[in-house]
Each structure stands twice: as structure tokens, then as C-alpha cells.
Amino acid sequence: MPGVTGVQIERFDPKASFAGKWARGYDTAPRQAWLASAESGEPVGGYLLRLPDKENLTTADCRLVISPARRRAGFGRALLAHCAEQARQAGRTRLTSHVRDGSPGAAFAAAAGAHGGIPEVIRTLTIDAGTPERLTRLRAEAEPFAAGYTLLSWLGVAPAEHLGQVAAVRDAMADAPRDASIEPSVWTAERVRESEQSMIDHGLTLYSVAARHDASGNLAALTQVITEADTPDWAFQQITAVLSGHRGHRLGLLVKIGMIGLVMAREPAIRHFHTGNAGANAHMIAINERLGYAVGGLSRTWQLDLR
Ligand SMILES: CC(C)(COP(=O)(O)OP(=O)(O)OC[C@H]1O[C@@H](n2cnc3c(N)ncnc32)[C@H](O)[C@@H]1OP(=O)(O)O)[C@@H](O)C(=O)NCCC(=O)NCCS
């Protein structure tokens, strides 16, 4: 693995990080943050309403949370009604929300008349004494299939010379199994730059490992992981994608092996890698199972028709 270039976060401020993620997020979509308080002034819950502005223009995403001490008293229903009205006023015809199966959120969504989409399987890789040996063995098995490709990595936002190709590889995510009614993101260099910069602004550390096709010089595969200073033992998988013309060369496995080694080397406290894939995503799941990921639960996106 070549040396890593990029920026390092000097100081982590959890409150500023949360405020940035909640109020600004990772894109330009307008968002509304509402807080509900009791007459005493004590907050009982709130929601974040996100109004996508590039795709899914009839959809609004709602993150609703009620304080644990105030649940099952109707506040959730009341806030959902308020949220639905805001979404309607913004011209949206459905609300979406992503929750774990078996959680209060799933029961609440069902009770509200929403319908659940395709299951996403949450998997976790736990680093143990055998991990380095397993990665070495898997890399040796895969490398013969990947002749003509070179791995490279960077920390933070993508270097300018890779931005357009990062957008192209991100577009390859459109092939992943998804809820039919949810449109995939269409990436441009500028959108990649804004999204990655917002992660850095919110105090996240962003790692990227790519595979370059030597003959053309183009990026063929990319995997990205974030870490956060307040959960030093967890790494969170973002995208992994291989351009369709370069599939079948074990590049998905190789970039993920490179990533696990890179994060372990730079952040010795890391013990777990978290990921989620559509249950029907056979290729990605096969890669994760070879790496040693274990199933941790199911989640899905719920949709509520506002018409
Ligand atoms: C989901 C959540 C917002 C519900 O808030 P709440 O104020 O307890 O919701 P309400 O009291 O208005 O409940 C409305 C109905 O949802 C269902 N429901 C809510 N929580 C439930 C639970 N834990 N188990 C079973 N049903 C539940 C019930 O049918 C309930 O009606 P009932 O109490 O008359 O039986 C709250 O549990 C929460 O903040 N969870 C964490 C975040 C989350 O998952 N958000 C939801 C995303 S869709």
C-alpha cells in the first residue's frame, strides 16, 4: 500500500460535530430541524426533515426521535403529523425513514400506516488475533485475478485528479439492489467534493482505497470508510463499488482488504467495522462473509404515502 496523503483532524468537538451533521448534513438538500417541548420547557423529542433537491423530488426523509422517558404517550404520532404537513407544504407526496427491524421505530412506522421496503442486512467485522493472517491469505488468493490493477489510497477529500473518476465509480452504486421507488444519486465531481468536505467539516475521518486500471489510468473500484473520534473502536463502511467493465477481478475484495489494513494501521483502537447491504446483494455479501463479517441485524426504509 503506498503512503497516505491528506488532512488530519486536530481536535474533535462532539457538540459541533453533531450540530453539523444534523443541521447541515452531507449535501445541499434543504432541511428543517424541529424540537417539541413540554410546557415546563423540557424537550420531549424532535425531528429532522430532509428535502432531497437532486433526485427523489417527491420524497422527504424524516428522522423522528422521542425522549425514552416520554414514549408511548402519543408524542411520536403528534410530531409525525407535524412533519407530514411540513413535507406536504414542500410539495412532497411521501415520507421515508430508515430503522432497524424489531425496534420501537419499526413498530411505530407500521402503526402509522407506512410500508417497509427491502431488508438491509447489518454486518460487523470484529478484529481479532487471526485477522492479519486471514487478510494476508485472502489477498494472496485474490491478487492473481487482479493483474493490471494497482491499489492506491488517500485520507480526507479525494485529490483533484481523482474527483471525476470517484464520481463515476460512485455512480456504479446505482447497480446495487434497492427499493424500486428510490432513485439512486447521480454524482458529479462537484457533488463528490461537497459531500466529502462536509464529512471533514463534521469531524469525521474519511479513508478511501481505490483500484486503478494500469492500462487506462482510470479508477476501476473504490471503497470508503469513516471513523469518528468519539467511537474510537468502530469504523463505518460507506460505499464500495466496482465499475461494471472491471468486475470479476476480485477488486471489491482487494480494496476492502486494503482498507481494513490501512485503518488498523492508522487507528490501533479499531475493533469493529460496521456495514449494511441489501439482503439481495449477493456479490457484496460474499465478499463480506469471506472477510469474516457476521450478521448483526436487519433494517429497512419505511415509506408513508402522504396523499
Ligand atoms: C419510534 C418513536 C419515535 C415512537 O415515539 P412515541 O412517542 O413513543 O410514539 P407514540 O406514543 O405516538 O406511538 C404511536 C404508536 O406507535 C406504536 N409504537 C410506538 N412505539 C412502540 C413500541 N415500542 N412497541 C410497539 N409499538 C409501538 C404503537 O402502535 C403506538 O400506539 P399506542 O401507544 O396507542 O399503542 C420512539 O420510540 C423513538 O424515538 N425511537 C427511536 C428513533 C426512531 O426509531 N424513530 C422512528 C423512525 S420511523
State pLDDT tens for residues 250-302.
999 999 999 999 999 999 999 999 999 887 788 889 999 999 999 999 999 99
Cβ of 241: how many Cβ atoms within 10 Å? Answer: 25
pLDDT digits (tens, 9 = 90+) for 225-238: 999 999 999 999 99
Domain-by-domain residue ranges, the chain?
23-120, 128-270
Closest C-alpha to ligand 1, atom 17: 108
**Pocket flag, ligand 1, residue 91 (CB < 6 Å):** no
Q: Which atom of ligand 1 is nearest to the CA of 302?
A: 48
pTM: 0.91
Compute, in angstroms, the gap from residue 47 CA to the centroid of ligand 1: 13
Ligand 1: centre distance to CA 112 (Å) = 9
Q: What is the mean pLDDT of the chain?
A: 94
- Cell triple for 9: 483532524
Confidence (pLDDT) at 2: 43
Superfamily of domain 23-120 in CATH is Gcn5-related N-acetyltransferase (GNAT) (3.40.630.30)
Determine whether the shortest distance from the Cβ of 297 to ligand 1 is under 6 A: no
Cα(69)–Cα(125) distance, integer angstroms: 33
pLDDT (tens digit, 9 = 90+) per residue, 15-66?
999 999 999 999 999 999 999 999 999 999 999 999 999 999 999 999 999 9
- Residue with the smallest CA separation from ligand 1 atom 4 is 76
Average pLDDT, integer, range 186-196: 96
CATH topology match: 23-120 vs 128-270? yes
Question: Quick one: fold of 128-270?
Answer: Aminopeptidase (3.40.630)
The rounded Å distance from CA 105 to ligand 1 centre is: 6
The reported pLDDT for the residue numbered 173 is 86
Give me the pLDDT at residue 279, please. 79
pLDDT tops 60 at residue 1: no
What ranges make up the beta strands (E) of the chain? 31-37, 43-50, 59-66, 94-100, 115-116, 120-126, 149-155, 205-213, 219-227, 234-242, 272-278, 294-305
